[in-house]
Structure 1
Amino acid sequence: MRRRELLASGTALLSVALAGCGHPPVVLDFEEATTETVAELVSTTPEPGSEAYEVVASARDNGSAIRRGRRELFDRTNAVRVDGRFYEVSETAITSSEVTVYTVTVEAAESNSTAGLREVAYEDLPETDREQLGPILAEGEPPDPDTAIGVDYGSAEEVGNDSVFVPERQYDVIVRDGRRYRVRVSSRTADEAEYRYAVTEVAPDVETFADRVRDRYLFALTGLSAAERAVVEEAIEGAYFDEDDAFRSVVDRLRSHAGVDVTDSYGTWLLTYEGVEYRAYAEW
């Protein structure tokens, strides 16, 4: 059987889409909007202690912040919420260079295939390696023997000295609960940039920010026909999935207004219907 390779970023495994999964060709969904959900439409809230949180807090407190990384941190269209306040973030790449990054790949192995190889017990691994590989080598069912799972460790500088695999592999096999796992380490060159950050406060609290979002996007959905009203009522109760004339008419009404996030095939709007505020999502 052909071996599959999956890549995990840090400790979060990528989801694998199942072939043949059904999905309605169209959908219309209305969700009653609160002040919080209105604010969330065009903002992100990084977890305290995360890299994004620390960058914004540092730029706020010091006037600017510098960070090195292989990707941008922020969606340029969204405000960032930190400590209850909302900020517009300027993220500018000021230098660029190349860096070597490492991927550690593990796969289940038969005992008779690891004779003479360097082994280490999972419990004896440094904390860095246990945190990175723990979700893959969790107790219970072992990984699919025909699947190799890779974890992006990042650069040697990011890893530091607390790893027995990066940058130099010291062991070939990890043993946990009597099971053996072969370990491979690969490297590649990636672009890395130095970014400068500056922030501008746009709202001191969620209520003020939500009002700004309403001023820009909120509209009233009125003047509907009986058929259109039936579509909207079903979308409020759950969701509407029929691609009929009434559905297309409602979507056309939505698309005639500025949406929060709209593409050629889907969109999100903020509206009122019969005095109630909704977040409306449609695919067509």
Structure 2
Amino acid sequence: MRRRSFLATTTTLALPLAGCMRPDYGSLTMTAMATDAAIARRHAEDLDALPPDSRALVRDAIDGETPARADTGPPFDADRPFEDDGAYYDIGYEVVERRAGTQYDLRIDYDPVAEPSSVVAYADLPAVDRRALSRLLPPPADSPTGRGFDVDVADTYLDDTASVLVPEPEYEAVSYDGTAYRVGVGGSREIEVDRYQYSAERIADSPAALGRQLRERYLFTLSGLPEAEREIVLEAAAEGYYPDSPSRAFRSLTERLGAHEPVRSTAGTGHWLVRYDGRVYWAELSTPGETTP
């Protein structure tokens, strides 16, 4: 039987929302930054908070290695630096190889199998298969238990190391913590897989140095605000501003912030360094619907 090695897993879960939620009109919080070091720590990403695979990749890159991962897209993409032993590093990557692969739909049935015809313990699976099933086992607390297979997860494999799950499972079930769960393979598709090689660039030797870089590049002053906007800023600095209805003043203040380059931004949320009334603040603005400039 042909065996394949696991490369990457991509899982998308759609969860229903229960109950009622109030309309989201956005929000603004402003946190005082007393020092440049405080700015750095607010901006940097927490290495310890990453999943184990990503944490190992970042750690290897910082240690001077050139770790590589294969996937259909960048397995890790950071837009914030990481701290290590007081210094700060940007993590980047380049594509060094492209090759063909196969993506399989792995299936699991969360109804326990009392007497499977063949079973293998999760701990005894090849490492590539343990990784493939790591998003399915242990079962979630609210796992579905309908008839047949309950969850499909798309996993990408290449033809270079052993797997007992694809192209067809060699066992009917996989046991986890003493309970056996039926596994199977649904559809498959041929895809292209890139090999990403990661590296680290040291960008600051201390928190104060990184904070100074950010302040010199991004800090701007809010001044000459109308009374309604001043009240929003004061509330945002005290406890956060969370409007319960559309506000012309809030929309105007949002435009003021959006006219300046953010330290970072994602869909609907932006982060700025702002000086107001002589103090430096980290401003976090959430706007419903559109991407923050």
Partner residue, 2:195 = 194
Do the aligned partners of residues 157 and 42 (structure 1) sit closer, same or farther apart at CA in structure 2, a change above 3 Å counting?
farther
Partner residue, 1:185 = 185
Identify which range, 98-107 or 252-261, moves more after superposition: 98-107
TM-score (norm 1): 0.72
Alignment partner for residue 278 of structure 1, among 272, 279, 282?
282
Question: Aligned equivalents of 1:131 and 1:193: distance in 2?
Answer: 19
Task: Tell me if the contact between 1:97 and 1:191 (Cα under 8 Å) persists in the aligned partners.
Answer: yes
Q: Deviations over 1:1-44 (max 9, x none)?
A: xxxxxxxx76x975534347636332122141555663366544
Partner residue, 2:145 = 145
Confirm or deny that 1:98 pairs with 2:104.
no
Confirm or deny that 1:248 pairs with 2:242.
no
Shift of 1:145: 1.3
Shift of 1:183: 0.7
What's the secondary structure of 2:63's corresponding residue? helix
Question: Aligned equivalents of 2:90 and 2:80: distance in 1?
Answer: 7
Task: Tell me if the contact between 2:32 and 2:281 (Cα under 8 Å) persists in the aligned partners.
Answer: yes
Shift of 1:99: 2.1
Q: Deviations over 1:91-130 (max 9, x none)?
A: 222321112344532113376xx87x53326477448456
Partner residue, 1:27 = 26
Question: Aligned equivalents of 1:262 and 1:140: distance in 2?
Answer: 32
Task: Tell me if the contact between 1:68 and 1:192 (Cα under 8 Å) persists in the aligned partners.
Answer: no
Question: Aligned equivalents of 1:232 and 1:16: distance in 2?
Answer: 36
TM-score (norm 2): 0.70
Q: Give unpaired runs (5+ residues) of structure 2.
A: 1-7, 289-293
Partner residue, 1:18 = 16
What's the secondary structure of 2:64's corresponding residue? helix
Partner residue, 1:85 = 87
Q: Deviations over 1:159-205 (max 9, x none)?
A: x54x6435652211245678653211354433222344454322112
Partner residue, 1:231 = 232
Question: Aligned equivalents of 1:68 and 1:177: distance in 2?
Answer: 30
Do the aligned partners of residues 38 and 13 (structure 1) sit closer, same or farther apart at CA in structure 2, a change above 3 Å counting?
farther
What's the secondary structure of 2:171's corresponding residue? coil
What's the secondary structure of 2:252's corresponding residue? helix
Question: Aligned equivalents of 2:112 and 2:267: distance in 1?
Answer: 50
Question: Aligned equivalents of 2:140 and 2:255: distance in 1?
Answer: 51
Do the aligned partners of residues 254 and 149 (structure 1) sit closer, same or farther apart at CA in structure 2, a change above 3 Å counting?
same
Shift of 1:264: 8.2
Identify which range, 99-108 or 172-181, moves more after superposition: 172-181
Confirm or deny that 1:155 pairs with 2:157.
yes
Shift of 1:209: 0.7
Identify which range, 45-54 or 273-282, moves more after superposition: 45-54
Question: Aligned equivalents of 1:67 and 1:37: distance in 2?
Answer: 33
Partner residue, 1:5 = none
Structure 1 residue identity aligned to 2:253 = V
Partner residue, 2:223 = 222
Shift of 1:228: 1.1
Task: Tell me if the contact between 2:264 and 2:270 (Cα under 8 Å) persists in the aligned partners.
Answer: yes
Do the aligned partners of residues 99 and 200 (structure 1) sit closer, same or farther apart at CA in structure 2, a change above 3 Å counting?
same
Structure 2 residue identity aligned to 1:22 = M
Structure 2 residue identity aligned to 1:279 = A
Within 5 Å, give how 1:254-273 maps onto structure 2: 254-262=257-265, 265-273=268-276
Partner residue, 2:56 = 50
Partner residue, 1:38 = 39
Question: Aligned equivalents of 1:211 and 1:196: distance in 2?
Answer: 30
